[in-house]
Chain A
Amino acid sequence: EAQVTQNPRYLITVTGKKLTVTCSQNMNHEYMSWYRQDPGLGLRQIYYSMNVEVTDKGDVPEGYKVSRKEKRNFPLILESPSPNQTSLYFCASSLSGGGGEAFFGQGTRLTVV
């Protein structure tokens, strides 16, 4: 089954404690991205990757890092989380080249206290 898998689904952490949210896809997609979803703002792109070792900033990259060492994995790293990063996070993947739909993971609800 084609899918994007995120872990964990729920996470409560304290300010400043580094965390990583993992994302893995089994569709051999080149393009992967991270979004955060906040009420009334829709989904906003944090970072994206066009392929292995190629990453770039999206619209709201501050406070986040990513890496793409393997095609299937695209972890999101919060080096020093702050309360304004409390949000619902989604990883997505798609074929590159401007075609095809984006497949989303089930989301990670992060709370930073």
Chain B
Amino acid sequence: QQQVKQSPQSLIVQKGGISIINCAYENTAFDYFPWYQQFPGKGPALLIAIRPDVSEKKEGRFTISFNKSAKQFSLHIMDSQPGDSATYFCAARRGAAGNKLTFGGGTRVLVKP
């Protein structure tokens, strides 16, 4: 049973467009929600993260929206660039369980020039 569900599995967006990736979780004990970016041949790297007491966090062109009551969070990539083409993973961490991360299934994003 996947505790963090991510959609879509892939998306194609034109340069300058907005990429939106959605995640839903079940366990209300999760207390930290990071997004990871992974380029081919590389390990995942932290992109941006949010805690559940905040509804939105923005870093440059990347924004996380968090809806605690719906147990959903999403990543918006504004003004998408070809260099943003990568696989994105949402994750959730339960502080009481140490640093274990539970990952979504990943979204492959392709930004067309």
| Residues of A participating in the B interface, judged by any CB pair closer than 8 Å | 4, 31, 33, 35, 40-45, 48, 50, 58, 90, 92, 94-96, 98, 101-102, 104-107
Contacts and interface: CB of A to CB of B under 8 A. Distances in A.
Interface in B52-105: 89, 93, 95, 98-105
B89 A31 contact: no
B42 A107 contact: yes
Interface of B: 2, 4, 6, 9, 31-32, 34, 36, 41-46, 49, 89, 93, 95, 98-106
Contacts of B98: 31, 48, 50, 96, 98
Contacts, number: 63
Interface of A: prevailing SS: strand
Nearest to A58: B100
Given A98-B93, A101-B46, A105-B43, A40 B99 contact: no
| Among B2, B34, B98, B102: residue with most chain A CB under 10 A | B98
Contacts of A31: 98-99
Nearest to A44: B103
